[in-house]
């Protein structure tokens, strides 16, 4: 028996070794040897063995990278030492000034020049050689505990690769980033699902680290470069250059493009070299970081309130190109916003061929005096979509044409509206195909009609195959239509139809929110239901009636009135009515109106109730529960290990109560 266990142990260790080997091949060497599928099979074998023999599980097993249930929110971590940021320089002259400032304070310094990786700063703590926490920078003093997400990054060692006892407890800092190729893959997928694209690798990395479900984070294939060994002097390390070498030896991914420089001129040369080569890298950099190499000298130089005096960043100039603007198209976004986009004579910029650039809005076009047919300068400042910076008026021939934004939506032809400031132009038509996916997804959201099976991929197909013209048509889908769609069998279609049927019973506030009236969120929908007892009542309301309600102002009142005046609204309401969707306020919902509309938010774990139970108690006592902190909250209920909401609540001076005080409130009658 014991021998058997030994054999299993060997097998497990072999699998772990293989998986870590392939992690390195994929993430560090960028030379994968096996397919994702084969990799998943290895992982599956290991998970199965560890499940069967729990005594053989270890905290550094690669299976730990994909474990964990989705979180409700992140806990707050207080950084042992503030996470500083850097002052920026933009020219060689400014680097020389930096060198002069340093020389005034201390002599004989050398510099380390590193690439400035365009990602998200993180701090990693190891205890007893094992990764204990991973945290974001936050405001520098405290950040979010994103340990679960950090563990999914295959190049973050779960265990430090050494037996040297002195390195058992350390903190390192670095940059989590996403490769350019991976951003392309993610954006292609987002485009096919009709989701908004990430503008650059930094936003994508930040967005990925903020996800609450580690399984989703794992799919993003994030990466890391570690650049700092905290309190290195305590471990007998004397310089930054040495620290980088040791970090590498301990198993961390350290960027290889580092240079130890004797003089600032060498630094400048290295910066110029990388400014030219930056587009050849598989990840984005937005400049260089120059650090005084000797820790002893760093100590002498010290820090200001936000940044160290011993380091500086050198930002690259945004890359520009000259090209001809052939035409201006108008795109309709998923929220109905009309954006003018320049069609360009294709030109090479920052390593890619650019054919389009954004012009933002009519005001910008006028301010920059950009005309169709102009020669223009375009610029890419780390974003995927470049921007038209200016027109070259001296090159005009007289044939250039002035552009005006249309007053009809280019997708559906209905009249557009301008926002209060007159800058943002929108199409509000409920049947506009450019916005339909977004509107249906919103309609199906949990706080709206709660049709869980109506996910992005499915809605995309429904819209593309023209099975729906608006969200009202959802109620007229049948099993034949649904089962004809990709990845929809008989069973899943039946389930979805059931959910759709169930949604007809949703409460009036859910329906009002689901309608997608501009400026009417969940909270406003609840307030409306406090004041109107059916959808018809609300539809009949005059502006004066709406303005009498305490929390409703001019903008919201106008949005509601405009919404119900529209022909497309009339059509969709008719469909909902025909389907038998509930239009009335439910009377049974409130058992005892103890809380009288008071707004609650929860953070941390309660001893006696799950989050859902506590929310139900609040609702059935006539209160409301929200998930985002704002000044409109009456009570913040704080349980064990509260997250970032607690900090924000304190900042906003909200009333904070503990579980016992919450129970006392509920009991009062
Ligand atoms: S050192 C106190 N080195 O740039 C100095 N930072 O504004 C701490 N960054 O927040 C930073 N690559 O997120 C350092 N090689 C590198 C870096 C780097 C990227 C980021 C980091 C930091 C920001 C500085």
pLDDT digit string, tens, across residues 252-278:
999 999 999 999 999 999 999 999 999
How many angstroms separate the CA atoms of 263 and 96, rounded? 10
User: What separation in angstroms does the CA of 151 have from each of 74, 134, 345?
Assistant: 15, 8, 45
379 lines ligand 1 (CB under 6 A): no
Could you tell me if 475 and 576 are in contact, meaning their C-beta atoms sit under 8 angstroms apart? yes
Percent of the chain with pLDDT over 70: 97
The CA distance from 540 to 546, in Å, is 11
Range 528-549 average pLDDT: 92
Ligand 1, residues 138, 227, 259: which to mutate, most atoms within 8 A of Cβ? Answer: 227
Q: Is the CB of 230 under 6 A from ligand 1?
A: no
| Rg of the chain taking only CA atoms, in angstroms | 29
Which of the four pLDDT bands, split at 50, 70 and 90, describes residue 23? confident
Determine the distance separating the centroid of ligand 1 and the alpha carbon of 108, expressed in angstroms. 24
* Residue 66 clears pLDDT 70, i.e. is over it: yes
| Per-chain mean pLDDT for the chain | 91
Cβ of 227 less than 6 Å from ligand 1 = yes
pLDDT value of residue 224: 97
| Residue-level length of the chain | 669
* Nearest Cα to Cα of residue 454 among 418, 513, 495, 410: 495
pLDDT given at position 194: 61
Please check the confidence at residue 519 and state whether its pLDDT lies above 90.
no
Ligand 1 pocket member 308 (CB < 6 A): yes
Higher pLDDT, 292 or 611: 292
pLDDT tens per residue across span 628-663 = 888 889 999 999 888 889 989 999 999 999 999 998
Could you tell me how far CA 458 lies from the centroid of its own chain? 23
Q: Residue whose CA is closest, atom 2 of ligand 1? A: 84
Mean pLDDT for the stretch of residues 38-58: 90
d(CA 354, CA 376): 13
Kindly state if the Cβ of 42 falls inside 6 Å of ligand 1.
no
Residue with tokens 């997708």: 411
Nearest atom in ligand 1 to the alpha carbon of residue 291 is: 1
pLDDT at residue 185 greater than cutoff 50: yes
The pLDDT of residue 234 is above 90: yes
**Model pLDDT, residue 669:** 43
Higher pLDDT, 193 or 383: 383
pLDDT of residue 191: 75
Calculate how far, in angstroms, residue 295's C-alpha sits from the geometric centre of ligand 1: 17
H/E stretch holding 584 reads none
- Residues 229, 243: contact at Cβ < 8 Å? yes
Section 535-564 average pLDDT: 92
28 pLDDT higher than 60: yes
Alpha carbon distance, N-terminus to C-terminus of the chain: 64
pLDDT for res 592: 64
In short, whether 622's Cβ falls inside 6 Å of ligand 1 is no
* Percent of the chain scoring above 90 in pLDDT: 70
- Ligand 1 mean position, distance from CA 251 (Å): 20
- DSSP letter for 556, please: H
Let me know if 116 is a catalytic residue.
yes
Sheet arrangement for strand 111-117: 88-89, 311-315, 285-292, 111-117, 259-261
Instruction: Tell me how far apart the alpha carbons of residues 162 and 26 are, in angstroms, rounded to a whole number.
Output: 23
Q: Is pLDDT larger for residue 344 or for residue 196?
A: 344
User: What's the pLDDT band for 26 if we cut at 50, 70, 90?
Assistant: confident
Q: Tell me the torsion sign for CA atoms 139, 140, 144, 148.
A: positive
Distance 120 CA to ligand 1 centre (A): 9
315 lines ligand 1 (CB under 6 A): no
Please compute the mean of the pLDDT values over residues 430-452 and round it to a whole number.
92
Lowest-confidence pick of 120-134, 193-207, 502-516: 193-207
Tokens of 95: 């680097």
293-to-297, 426, 588 alpha-carbon distances in Å: 8, 54, 70
Q: How far does residue 187's CA lie from ligand 1's centre (Å)?
A: 26
Give the pair of three-digit tokens for residue 625: 């529960």
Which of 85, 247, 311 is the pocket-test mutation for ligand 1 (most atoms within 8 Å of CB)? Answer: 85
Q: Which residue's alpha carbon is nearest to atom 4 within ligand 1? A: 116
Q: What share of the chain is helix, strand, coil (3-state, %, to 5)?
A: 40, 20, 40
Q: Which of 30-44, 116-130, 262-276 has the lowest mean pLDDT?
A: 30-44
Residue ranges and CATH numbers for the domains of the chain are 2-65 (1.10.287.610), 78-315 (3.30.470.30), 318-427 (2.40.50.140), 428-590 (1.10.150.20), 599-668 (3.40.50.10190)
pLDDT tops 60 at residue 590: no
Residue with tokens 């998943």: 40
How far is residue 43 from each of residues 23, 68, 329, 616, measured CA to CA in Å? Answer: 11, 16, 48, 40
544 has pLDDT over 70: yes
Cβ atoms of residues 625 and 602 within 8 Å = yes
Q: Is the pLDDT of residue 588 over 60?
A: no
Stretch 437-451: mean pLDDT: 93
Contact 86 CB / ligand 1 (< 6 Å)? yes
Residue 340, beta-bridge partner list: 330
Element (H, E) at 123: strand 120-127
State which of 82, 83, 84, 86 you would mutate to test the pocket of ligand 1, scoring each by most atoms of that ligand within 8 A of its C-beta. 86
Of 615 and 243, the structure prediction assigns the larger pLDDT to 243
User: 289 CB less than 6 Å from ligand 1?
Assistant: yes
Catalytic residue of the set 7, 75, 116, 180: 116
DSSP tally for the chain: helices H, then strands E: 24, 22
**pLDDT over 60 at 589, yes or no:** no
The residue nearest atom 18 of ligand 1, judged by CA position, is 116
pLDDT of the residue at 107: 87
Nearest residue to 445 (alpha-carbon basis) of 494, 505, 516, 385: 516
CB of 152 sitting under 6 A from ligand 1:
no
Torsion, Cα 658 79 138 188, to 10 degrees, reads -110
- Give residue-wise pLDDT tens across range 594-608: 787 889 999 998 888
Is 406's pLDDT higher than 50? yes
Assess whether pLDDT exceeds 80 at residue 463: yes
Q: How far is the CA of 271 from the centre of ligand 1 (A)?
A: 15
Best probe residue, ligand 1, of 175, 243, 252 (max atoms within 8 Å of C-beta): 175
Q: Are strands 656-658 and 635-638 parallel, antiparallel or unpaired?
A: parallel
Q: How far apart are CA 652 and CA 286, in angstroms?
A: 35
Whole-number Å distance, alpha carbon 313 to ligand 1 midpoint, is: 8
Tokens 């060498």 locate to: 266
Q: Ligand 1 in contact with 114 (CB < 6 A)?
A: yes
Nearest CA to ligand 1 atom 11: 85
Q: Quick check: CB of 117 below 6 Å from ligand 1? A: yes
User: Among all chains, which residue has been given the structure tokens 């920078």?
Assistant: 137
Instruction: Determine which of 34-48, 119-133, 363-377, 418-432 has the lowest per-residue pLDDT on average.
Output: 418-432
> For residues 510 and 137, what is the distance between their CA atoms, to the nearest angstrom?
37
Counting ligand 1 atoms within 8 A of each CB, the residue from 113, 172, 231, 289 with the most, and so the one to mutate, is 289
The DSSP symbol for 454 reads: -
Residues 6+ apart with CB under 8 A from 580: 504
Q: Is the CB of 205 under 6 A from ligand 1?
A: no
């Amino acid at each position: 028996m014991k021998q058997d266990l030994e054999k299993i142990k060997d097998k497990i260790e072999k699998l772990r070794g293989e998986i870590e080997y392939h992690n390195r091949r994929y993430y560090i060497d960028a030379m994968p040897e096996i397919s994702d599928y084969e990799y998943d099979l290895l992982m599956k074998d290991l998970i199965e063995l560890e499940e069967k023999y729990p005594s053989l599980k270890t905290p550094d097993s690669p299976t730990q990278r994909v474990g964990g249930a989705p979180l409700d929110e992140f806990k707050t971590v207080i950084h042992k030492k503030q996470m500083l940021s850097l002052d920026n320089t933009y020219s060689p002259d400014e680097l020389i000034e930096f060198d002069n400032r340093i020389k005034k304070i201390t002599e004989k310094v050398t510099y380390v020049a590193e690439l400035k990786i365009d990602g998200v700063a993180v701090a990693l703590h190891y205890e007893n050689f094992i990764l204990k926490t991973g945290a974001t920078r936050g405001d520098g003093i405290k950040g979010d505990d994103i340990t679960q997400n950090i563990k999914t990054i295959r190049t973050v060692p779960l265990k430090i690769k050494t037996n040297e006892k002195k390195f058992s407890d350390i903190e390192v800092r670095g940059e989590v980033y996403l490769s350019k190729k991976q951003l392309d893959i993610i954006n292609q997928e987002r485009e096919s699902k009709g989701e908004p694209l990430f503008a650059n690798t930094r936003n994508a990395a930040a967005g990925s680290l903020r996800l609450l479900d580690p399984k989703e984070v794992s799919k993003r294939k994030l990466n890391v470069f570690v650049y700092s060994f905290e309190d290195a002097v305590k471990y007998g390390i004397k310089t930054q250059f040495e620290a980088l070498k040791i970090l590498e030896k301990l198993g961390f991914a350290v960027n290889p493009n580092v240079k130890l420089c004797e003089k600032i001129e060498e630094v400048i040369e290295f910066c110029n070299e990388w400014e030219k080569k930056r587009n050849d890298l598989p990840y984005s950099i937005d400049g260089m970081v120059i650090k005084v190499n000797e820790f002893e000298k760093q100590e002498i130089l010290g820090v200001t309130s936000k940044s160290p005096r011993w380091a500086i960043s050198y930002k690259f100039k945004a890359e520009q190109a000259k090209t001809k603007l052939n035409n201006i198209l108008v795109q309709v976004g998923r929220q109905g916003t009309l954006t003018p986009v320049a069609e360009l004579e294709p030109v090479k910029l920052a390593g890619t061929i650019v054919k389009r650039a954004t012009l933002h809005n009519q005001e910008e076009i006028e301010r920059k005096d950009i005309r169709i047919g102009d020669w223009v300068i375009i610029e890419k400042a780390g974003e995927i979509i470049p921007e038209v910076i200016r027109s070259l008026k001296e090159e005009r021939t007289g044939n250039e044409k002035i552009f005006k934004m249309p007053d009809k939506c280019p997708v559906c032809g209905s009249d557009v509206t301008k926002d209060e400031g007159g800058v943002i132009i929108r199409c509000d038509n409920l049947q506009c195909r450019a916005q339909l996916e977004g509107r249906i997804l919103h309609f199906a959201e949990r706080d709206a009609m709660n049709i869980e099976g109506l996910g992005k991929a499915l809605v995309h197909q429904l819209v593309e195959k023209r099975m729906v013209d608006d969200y009202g048509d959802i109620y007229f889908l049948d099993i034949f239509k649904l089962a004809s769609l990709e990845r929809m069998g008989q069973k899943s279609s039946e389930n979805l139809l059931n959910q759709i049927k169930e949604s007809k019973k949703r409460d009036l506030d859910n329906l009002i929110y689901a309608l997608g009236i501009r400026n009417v969120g969940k909270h406003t929908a609840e307030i409306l239901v406090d004041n109107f007892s059916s959808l018809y009542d609300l539809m009949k309301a005059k502006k004066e009636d709406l303005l009498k309600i305490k929390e409703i102002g001019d903008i919201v009142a106008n949005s509601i009135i405009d919404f119900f005046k529209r022909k497309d609204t009339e059509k969709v309401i008719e469909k909902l009515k025909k389907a038998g969707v509930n239009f009335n306020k439910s009377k049974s919902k409130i058992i005892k109106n103890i809380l009288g509309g008071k707004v609650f938010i929860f953070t941390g774990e309660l001893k006696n109730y799950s989050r859902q139970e506590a929310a139900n108690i609040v609702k059935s006592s006539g209160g409301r529960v929200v998930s985002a902190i704002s000044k409109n909250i009456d009570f913040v209920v704080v349980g064990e290990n509260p997250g970032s909401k607690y900090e924000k609540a304190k900042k906003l001076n909200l009333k904070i109560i503990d579980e016992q005080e919450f129970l006392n409130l509920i009991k009062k009658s």
